[in-house]
Homo-oligomer: A and B are copies of this chain.
Amino acid sequence: MLFPRRTEIYGEKQPSEHVYKVLSGAVCTYKLLIDGRRQVDAFYLPGDVFGLDFNKERTLSAKAVVDCRILVIKRSALTALVTHDNKVARQLWAFTAAELKHAQDHMILLIKTAEERVVAFLLEMAERSNDHLEIDLPMTRQDIADYLGLTIETVSRTLTQLQANAAISVPSSHRIILRKPAALRCLNV
């Protein structure tokens, strides 16, 4: 199924009827406060599965950050499997546990300084990329800022500062190359 960029895939409080797998593009999950402040919980890249918040209602919203091809799976198909196959049940549990771990790591990120947060984000994205040094960032600065609990201006300034230190280079705004990965890892506390 195709989702154009910026499309909402599901919204908070809606019933959880499907599970999703990213085929191409990128997705983010987030929460909104009434005044518009937003906390992005996670980015999902090709191969990643999302939408397994198996409280009946969605606890997060999800939207396509760029045009996406997404595989949509009925929840009922999964729950049927679970009641019969114990192994599937355990895999789903492990998946939820992994999301919990990610949320815990994200929480500690939110108490760090701006520079540490940006570096942690770059290292996380590098870890998930193909060659671990060149990163393609499908999301906007606003998405990154909302993931890190900062403003776009602070994210932008921190990136230019890292570039000034020659720790990274930014050939285009959605492409970043790690020049001193070891130094960056030191900043990752």
Contact = CB atoms under 8 A, between A and B. Distances in A.
A1 interface: no
Contacts of A31: 104, 107-108
B39 A100 contact: no
Contacts of A107: 31, 39, 41, 103, 106-107, 110
A59 interface: yes
Interface residues of A, number: 36
A86 interface: yes
B97 A60 contact: no
Interface string A78-91: 00001100100110
Contacts of A92: 93
Contacts of A53: 97, 100-101
Interface in A98-144: 98-101, 103-104, 106-108, 110-112
A118 to B, nearest CB: 16
Interface of A: 31, 33-35, 37, 39, 41, 53-55, 59-60, 82-83, 86, 89-90, 92-94, 96-101, 103-104, 106-108, 110-112, 149, 189
